[in-house]
Structure 1
Amino acid sequence: MRILHLLNHTTQSNGHVHAAVDLACEQSKLGHAVAVASGGGDFDALLSRNGVEIFTIDHRRKAATLLRSAWALRRLVGAFSADIVHAHMMTSAVLAWPVCKLVGIPLVATVHNEFEKSAILMGLGTRVIAVSAAVGSSMRRRGIPAAKLRVILNGTIGSARLASRETTPIALASPSLLFVGGLHPRKGLADLFAAFELVHHRHPQARLHIVGDGPFAEGYRDLVAGLSCREAVRFEGSKSDPFPWMLGADIFVLPSHADPAPLVLSEAREAGCAVVATHVDGIPELLEGGEAGVLVPARDPDALAAALSGLIAAPDAINHWRDRSQHRIDRLRIARVARETLDVYDEALSQFGRKARSALPRTS
């Protein structure tokens, strides 16, 4: 099959980019001809090493730019002989829709961030992939026909992106709590800091490590500076590879208010962390409904503090949840994601009365 992925850019630290890069590399590994067209970024070298062709399509939202990009995409689809165009963000779907209509090939669109109003535009796809059942339900409520929707739960274990990562744990004093993600209100960091203030009062030996960065970083540092637990909170900054921090942590915490299907939970489980996370969106699915991690209500610092304190007070409980993190973990492998995605492509091609072309020869 000849597969063209379309996304805004290939810059590290965006979850939808990580998911698209993982999928493209795995599809190439399976013998398909795969290309990525985007505004470029630091994953381009990885994609090339894994046999994925790289093309530039400017996604800047200016009328003249988008018109030129649509024409460039039309030429690329023909030159690459694409069977499928797979769009990963709203601008990509809007660019691809008229081109796919004109050429007569299916457009598959993945909804990564359903909380954005523009996500409804992903309904332009012949098939719409939701990254969790919760996202699928949300998109149905917003008007996307169930006949178009398919759920493929995110998973990243075994991906080419993570193949050469560091596996030596960062030495963290126990009990250590770890958050990895963007420093954004959607991630519930204010709740985490309020909860940790209570945890630290009961367990002054506890330490909280924050790995990540974002536009609200300074505000969060100011917030923590006013807490009695401030000396026990470490802002570690953004890390190109947070996995060693996960390997060194006792408890991974994700207090999100909204999170469609965070890849970070796949990595935290692979690292063997005990996981505490909020019961929102796709998080329960990634934690096997609470069998692979402790689920707490969102926006409830008291409940979060109680769960964390309970684990810290009983080291055997931490070990129990470390073991539980491995429950059905094979579901989170990229091989499963790629296989299910290829099935969706076959469905879409059948709807168009088409068959996939040979993966070879590749374009030069």
Structure 2
Amino acid sequence: MKIHCCHLLYRFDIGGLESVLVELIQRLPRSHYRHSVIALTDHGAAAERLTHEDVTLHALNKRAGKDLAVWWRLYKLLRQLKPDVMHSCNLSALEGQGVAALAGVPLRIHAEHGRDSYDLDGSNAKYRLLRKLINPFIHHWVPVSHDLARWLTQSLAIAPNKVSPIINGVDLQRFNPGYGVEARRRLLAVTGWPRQSKLIVTVGRLWSVKDHSNLLQAAQLLQDPAARVIIVGDGPEQASLQQQIAQLELGGRVELLHGVEDVATLLPGADLFVLPSMAEGTPLTLLEAMAAGLPVVATGVGGVPDLVVVDETGLLVPPREAPALAAALNHYLEHPELLTSHGAAGRQRAEQHYGWPHVIAQYDQLFGGTEHG
């Protein structure tokens, strides 16, 4: 009999968490698992990427703000589905673990994929208390970085034997430097920029914690006239970023690309990847950039320092410091030989440490599939 996993999250749309969940569902052994994806609100574009034939989708249509009735709807659904595993993701779904316990779900696992702009350092007293109150209902916590694991065990005093970090994986076939020539052609075509442009790209949802505003300030300080910045993503900050681009007179040097369905067709065509976030878990986009053969400039937050080998695969800078970010980008623009060598080292590191098979083996063991087989 297959293990039935219920995956609970706020909304099943575009994002790093959602991409990881799609890969997890697609790659866990189909002979061992069937899945239900439960969105507290509704389903977006991520649902369209699922090709697994044994997946059901459920939307609880949570209203904005407090909607206590959503937990009653979740309880009734869990009693109907009778899953073997509840796998919840991030703070917004945490309370579902208490509901799952009441509904009799035998194995309850909660994943922490990172923090948001309203709790960058994990010090919010309300959220700390909530995690401690729900902890007795959770059998296992899965942080996606060692930084988050340390925070859970040291700051929240969760028992270390309940915490197992599982670093995100990356699809090494989809994200491949071998696609660079065609990807560059696409990037130049969509932006209309000249062939000699030096393309700096970032990928991520346009919201405040990603701090694209700081990247735009750094773009003003780039010294190479051929430097161009491409921000790939959608989200609530899009209008304000467009306004900032106009105010800083960056038109023609910075491009916002939204509605991109497959970033793998573009990413290898860039020269350099930048991640300006204020907080991260283990950023999937950074792993994808490494797999695509790009050197990276990133803020040293969350699990990022575990991924980037300074002066070998990239450079780290403090968050929210535009001059430091610009200096690191200028360093690569002034030393183009490093673009090639650091990009190749990043690809090698991705191959050695971040392929999906190792990640899936860990989840398979955690969900019970290894014993099941």
**1:72-87 equivalent positions in 2, closer than 5 A:** 72-77=77-82, 82-87=83-88
**Worse-matched range after superposition: 145-154 or 99-108:** 99-108
Matched, 1:62 2:67: yes
Unaligned runs of 5+ residues in structure 2 are 189-194
Q: C-alpha distance in 1, partners of 2:148/2:25?
A: 22
Match of 1:12 in 2: 13
**SS where residue 221 of structure 2 aligns?**
helix
> Which digits, 9 at most, give the CA deviation of each residue in 1:246-270, with x for residues without a partner?
1110001111111111111111111
Deviation, 1:97, is 3.1
Shift of residue 277, structure 1, vs aligned partner: 0.8
- Distance, in Å, in 2 between the alignment partners of 1:317 and 1:55 is 46
Residue matched to 2:148: 135
Q: Does 1:244 align with 2:265?
A: yes
Aligned match for 1:144, one of 138, 144, 158: 158
TM-score (norm 1): 0.83
TM-score when scaled to structure 2?
0.81
The structural deviation recorded for 1:190 is: 2.1
**Residue 345, structure 1, aligned to residue 367, structure 2:** yes
Query: 1:153 & 1:243 partners in 2: Cα distance?
Result: 20
User: Do structure 1's residue 324 and structure 2's residue 326 form an aligned pair?
Assistant: no
- What's the CA shift string for 1:193-228, capped at 9, x where partnerless? 1211111xx211111111112212221222221224
Q: 1:239 to 1:104 in 2, by over 3 A?
A: closer
SS at 1:177 equivalent = strand
2:313: which partner in 1?
292
Structure 1 residue 73, shift from structure 2 partner = 0.7
Would you say the 8 A contact 1:58–1:69 is kept in 2?
A: yes
* Cα contact 1:38–1:56 (8 A) shared by 2: yes
Partners of 1:99 and 1:214 lie apart in 2 by: 31
The structural deviation recorded for 1:185 is 2.3
Report how many residues are paired. Answer: 339
Contact kept? 1:176, 1:249, Cα under 8 Å = yes
Counterpart of 1:27 in structure 2: which amino acid?
L
Relative to 1, partners in 2 of residues 1:143 and 1:238: Cα closer, same or farther, differing over 3 Å? farther
Tell whether 2:125 aligns with 1:125. no
Q: How far did 1:11 drift? A: 3.4
- Partner in structure 1 of residue 201 of structure 2: 178
Q: 1:226 to 1:41 in 2, by over 3 A?
A: closer
Residue among 26, 51, 58 paired with 2:53 = 51
- Letter of the 2:221 partner, please give it: L
Once the two structures are superposed, the pairs formed by residues 1-364 of structure 1 within 5 Å of their partners are 2-8=3-9, 11-29=12-30, 31-39=31-39, 40-47=43-50, 49-56=51-58, 58=60, 60=62, 62-77=67-82, 82-100=83-101, 103=104, 105-115=106-116, 118=127, 121=131, 123=135, 124-140=137-153, 141-157=155-171, 167=179, 168-171=182-185, 172=188, 173=195, 174-199=197-222, 202-288=223-309, 291-330=312-351, 331-346=353-368
3-state SS of the aligned residue for 1:128? strand
CA distance in 2, matches of 1:45, 1:301: 37
* Rounded Cα–Cα distance in structure 2 between residues aligned with 1:153 and 1:253: 20
Q: Which sections of structure 1, spanning at least 5 residues, go unmatched?
A: 350-354, 359-364
- Indicate the percent of aligned positions where both proteins have the same amino acid: 24
Structure 1 residue 7 displacement after superposition: 2.0
